[in-house]
Structure 1
Amino acid sequence: MLDIAEELDRWVEQGRDFAVATVVAVGGSAPRRPGAALAVDADGTAIGSVSGGCVEGAVYELCRQALQDGACVLERFGYSDDDAFAVGLTCGGIIDILVTPVRAGDRVRPVVAAGLRAAATGRTAALARIVTGPADLVGRALLIRDGDHDDRHEGDRHEGDRYEGGFGSHPELDRTVAAEARAFLDAGRTGTLEIGEQGSRCGAPLTVLVESSVPPPRMIVFGAIDFAAALVRVGKFLGHHVTVCDARPVFATRARFPEADEIVVAWPHEYLERTRVDARTVLCVLTHDAKFDVPLLQRALRLPVAYVGAMGSRRTHLERNARLREVGVSELELARLRSPIGLDLGARTPEETALSIAAEIVADRRGGSGVSLAGAHTPIHHDTAPAPAGRIGSVA
């Protein structure tokens, strides 16, 4: 749902009632990931998508029905061997979709509205909703905000936690889900978790969908060269916040990198020491100059980032690894280094090279093999099977 937060935030501001269908779980070759959403207002206006077109019509009708009866519905859509043209995913996938009415007076509306506002304004937040469990809990929502955010009402604050709303059940359930959702938020993940009704790992099970809204992941490109200019463009296309860093002011200029979000003139290792990185950050070292590479990689390979890649020939790679060992980089740390950077596409131009680097970053993030799908027996999407679905109660 947070993927269409800006539009839904406007609907809330306009006082519209709406129902939102959210992908909860996927299996097989499903086209959309958990968190993807389609919303329909009382006038029948629709925004968003849950399947890329396969089941939009059926989901639209479920949203219209939810607006009328106030019931939350969990529905499964999948491929039918008997009738490939029936409502379903003819690509062979399975998706579970939670349909939630968000109407004036609905208990869930204030929490959902706060989550939409946070996401629409670029704040870090996670929205947790109960997907399966007792009927009186299904659809209830809890909002976990970033630890630095502090503009909520005093009554919404909880000792030791930063969340608002709640499930109205056992108090430990709110605290436990908030803590679990914080881990999702720290990693920028959206997905489901299983938990007991009283907040423990035992007892009646609940399924909770956690949707994270986080700033774009960072891509830091070290080395203001032509290959870097192409990589900046690809990085922006993939949704990264891109920084270019180089110690040479004559090369690190806005004229050379107009699409970069930031341009930093500094020694790379010094900049890396003072800037913020996290588990989604990717570091691309394109300088292939030992005086820059060695101190930079010595630090980079010890940071909890998603990806570290370095450009250079195979000979450069071997020489650089030898220098890194000399300054104390361990074999385990060296094993994290993607060098020579990128997948083997036979790339020659800066644009082709940028594509090979981006492909490796995506494969590393998604667990892909990097081999051609044609003739391979690997899955197209690396997903887990969804849980059983059915009609599950009301959130009115």
Structure 2
Amino acid sequence: MLDIAEELHRWCERGRDFAVATVVATHGSAPRPPGAALAVDADGEAIGSVSGGCVEGAVYELCQEALVSGESVLSSFGYSDEDAFAVGLTCGGVIDILVTPVRPSGAGAEEGGAGGDSTAATLDAALAAAARGETAALARVVAGPPALIGRALLVRPDGTRTGTLGGHRVLDRTAAEEAAALLDAGRTGTVEIGADGSRCGEPVVLLVESSVPPPRMIVFGAIDFAAALARVGKFLGYHVTVCDARPVFATAGRFPAADEVVVDWPHRYLDAQELDSRTVLCVLTHDAKFDVPLLERALRLPVAYVGAMGSRRTHEDRLDRLRAVGVGERELDRLRSPIGLDLGARTPEETALSIGAEIVASRRGGSGVPLTGAHTPIHHEPRSGPERLGSVA
């Protein structure tokens, strides 16, 4: 749901009733991951997607029904080879979708006050936090006692929380602890706990959606390839920084797609940054005086990806120089160089596409080979993905 937070928050601010359908679990090949959402307002306007098209119509109808009934419902959609016209996923997978009606209380209303309800207020608070780019986790009951389905709890990094799941008092505390763990990892997924907050008793399954600032892409080298890569990075959802020591080239006008353009020596800028495991570093300078001190540091950082541009000859020379300054073979194995996948790219835009494709493959565990005839999964299962949920519809 938080993937369409900005639009939904605007609906809340305007007091528009809506129902939101969220993918809570997937099994097999599925087009959208847990957390993907489709919302429908009282006038029939729809935003978002839960399946890329194959079950959107049926989910749209479920949202309309939820707006009338006021009840949350969990439904499953899978492939049916018995009826070619049945609603289902043509890709062969199964998805579980939670549909929740939301009736905003209007701007300025107190949680649980007249004209509103605590769940709507909690969802609005979560949407507002996500729209502002704040770090928070939203936990919602997707399976368990019917009275708890759809209840929501918002958890922030400092331990404060908004809302309640409405069960045993320990339930909120346990749910907050589980949500905080997923938030710390920047993950969205499901967890199962007991209705009283313990691991035993009647199970309660929570969908925890983590809202974290966008991952960073830092592009070193203010060249035309960097301008194209900045556009690809923004398209992929990164906060893009372009860094170069040469002020005549590192200007905002040359890189309109970048979130920021920094004039500094690359290694000095990198030393000053706090980076996480989602950060990708793209070194396009292919100049030893910039590359070597930068890569010496970059290859020792716990970042997701380090790639460097250059010919194979440049790459071999770069490796020798890095070894000479003490970079070990294990660290050198992390370097993606020459940068990008083999697409036969020539132009800056094609090269940027090949780099973006390699970053996605590295992040998602893809092989980078053509899908035609490859007999490889189209949608890779998450490394610790959630199990399917039983329907409570």
TM over 0.5: yes
Which amino acid is 2:150 matched to?
Answer: G
Which residue of structure 1 aligns with residue 359 of structure 2? 361
Distance 1:170 1:351 in 2: 55
Matching residue within 95, 110, 130 for 1:119: 130
> Quick check: 1:84–1:90 contact (8 Å CA) kept in 2?
no
> Quick check: 1:111–1:164 contact (8 Å CA) kept in 2?
yes
Which residue of structure 1 aligns with residue 107 of structure 2? none
Which amino acid is 2:144 matched to?
Answer: G
Displacement after TM superposition at 1:319 (Å): 2.8
> Quick check: 2:245–2:266 contact (8 Å CA) kept in 1?
yes
Which residue of structure 1 aligns with residue 64 of structure 2? 64
**With CA pairs under 8 Å and 6+ residues apart, which has the higher RCO, 1 or 2?**
1
Which residue of structure 2 aligns with residue 193 of structure 1? 191
For the aligned residues, what is the CA RMSD?
2.1
Which amino acid is 1:116 matched to?
Answer: L
Which residue of structure 1 aligns with residue 163 of structure 2? 165
For the pair 1:139 / 2:137, whether they are aligned, the reply is no
**Residues 67-216 of structure 1 mapped to structure 2, 5 A cutoff:** 67-103=67-103, 105-147=116-158, 161-216=159-214
Per the alignment, do residues 47 and 334 of structure 1 end up closer, same or farther by CA in structure 2, a change over 3 Å counting? same
Per the alignment, do residues 385 and 328 of structure 1 end up closer, same or farther by CA in structure 2, a change over 3 Å counting? same
Per the alignment, do residues 295 and 97 of structure 1 end up closer, same or farther by CA in structure 2, a change over 3 Å counting? same
Displacement after TM superposition at 1:131 (Å): 0.9
Which residue of structure 2 aligns with residue 154 of structure 1? none
> Quick check: 2:190–2:386 contact (8 Å CA) kept in 1?
no
Which residue of structure 1 aligns with residue 226 of structure 2? 228
SS state at 1:278 partner: coil
SS state at 2:254 partner: coil
> Quick check: 2:95–2:388 contact (8 Å CA) kept in 1?
no
Distance 2:327 2:51 in 1: 46
Distance 1:178 1:324 in 2: 45
Displacement after TM superposition at 1:74 (Å): 0.7
- Greater shift, 60-69 or 227-236, is seen at 60-69
Which residue of structure 2 aligns with residue 152 of structure 1? none
- Greater shift, 228-237 or 47-56, is seen at 47-56
Which residue of structure 1 aligns with residue 37 of structure 2? 37
SS state at 1:375 partner: coil
Which residue of structure 2 aligns with residue 49 of structure 1? 49
Which amino acid is 1:344 matched to?
Answer: D
Which residue of structure 2 aligns with residue 8 of structure 1? 8
Which amino acid is 2:119 matched to?
Answer: V
Per the alignment, do residues 335 and 194 of structure 1 end up closer, same or farther by CA in structure 2, a change over 3 Å counting? farther
Deviation per residue, 1:68-123 (Å, 9 max, x gap): 33322110011101012211122323211001122354441111111111122332
- Greater shift, 324-333 or 31-40, is seen at 324-333
Distance 1:180 1:318 in 2: 47
Which amino acid is 2:326 matched to?
Answer: G
Which amino acid is 2:84 matched to?
Answer: A
Distance 1:263 1:283 in 2: 15
> Quick check: 1:230–1:354 contact (8 Å CA) kept in 2?
yes
Per the alignment, do residues 200 and 341 of structure 1 end up closer, same or farther by CA in structure 2, a change over 3 Å counting? farther
Q: Show structure 2 runs of 5+ residues with no match.
A: 104-114
Distance 1:309 1:178 in 2: 38
Displacement after TM superposition at 1:366 (Å): 0.9
SS state at 1:87 partner: coil
- Greater shift, 131-140 or 354-363, is seen at 131-140
Distance 2:296 2:179 in 1: 33
Distance 1:337 1:34 in 2: 31
Displacement after TM superposition at 1:293 (Å): 1.5
Q: Show structure 1 runs of 5+ residues with no match.
A: 148-160
Per the alignment, do residues 99 and 276 of structure 1 end up closer, same or farther by CA in structure 2, a change over 3 Å counting? same
Distance 1:353 1:209 in 2: 38
> Quick check: 2:136–2:154 contact (8 Å CA) kept in 1?
yes
Distance 1:251 1:228 in 2: 11
Which residue of structure 2 aligns with residue 289 of structure 1? 287
Per the alignment, do residues 11 and 371 of structure 1 end up closer, same or farther by CA in structure 2, a change over 3 Å counting? same
Q: Percent identity?
A: 75
Distance 1:344 1:200 in 2: 51
Distance 2:208 2:76 in 1: 19
- Greater shift, 379-388 or 367-376, is seen at 379-388
For the pair 1:306 / 2:304, whether they are aligned, the reply is yes
SS state at 1:101 partner: strand
Matching residue within 222, 246, 254 for 1:256: 254
SS state at 2:191 partner: strand
Distance 1:328 1:89 in 2: 53
Distance 2:305 2:168 in 1: 41
Per the alignment, do residues 289 and 201 of structure 1 end up closer, same or farther by CA in structure 2, a change over 3 Å counting? farther
Which residue of structure 2 aligns with residue 330 of structure 1? 328
> Quick check: 2:77–2:94 contact (8 Å CA) kept in 1?
yes
Displacement after TM superposition at 1:314 (Å): 2.4
Distance 1:385 1:176 in 2: 19
Query: What TM-score do you get using the length of structure 2 for normalisation?
Result: 0.89
Displacement after TM superposition at 1:287 (Å): 1.4
> Quick check: 2:118–2:163 contact (8 Å CA) kept in 1?
no
> Quick check: 2:73–2:149 contact (8 Å CA) kept in 1?
no
Distance 1:319 1:203 in 2: 63
Displacement after TM superposition at 1:330 (Å): 2.9
For the pair 1:391 / 2:392, whether they are aligned, the reply is yes
Which amino acid is 1:89 matched to?
Answer: L
- List structure 1 runs of 4+ shifted beyond 6 angstroms: none
Which residue of structure 2 aligns with residue 151 of structure 1? none
Per the alignment, do residues 14 and 258 of structure 1 end up closer, same or farther by CA in structure 2, a change over 3 Å counting? closer
Displacement after TM superposition at 1:16 (Å): 2.8
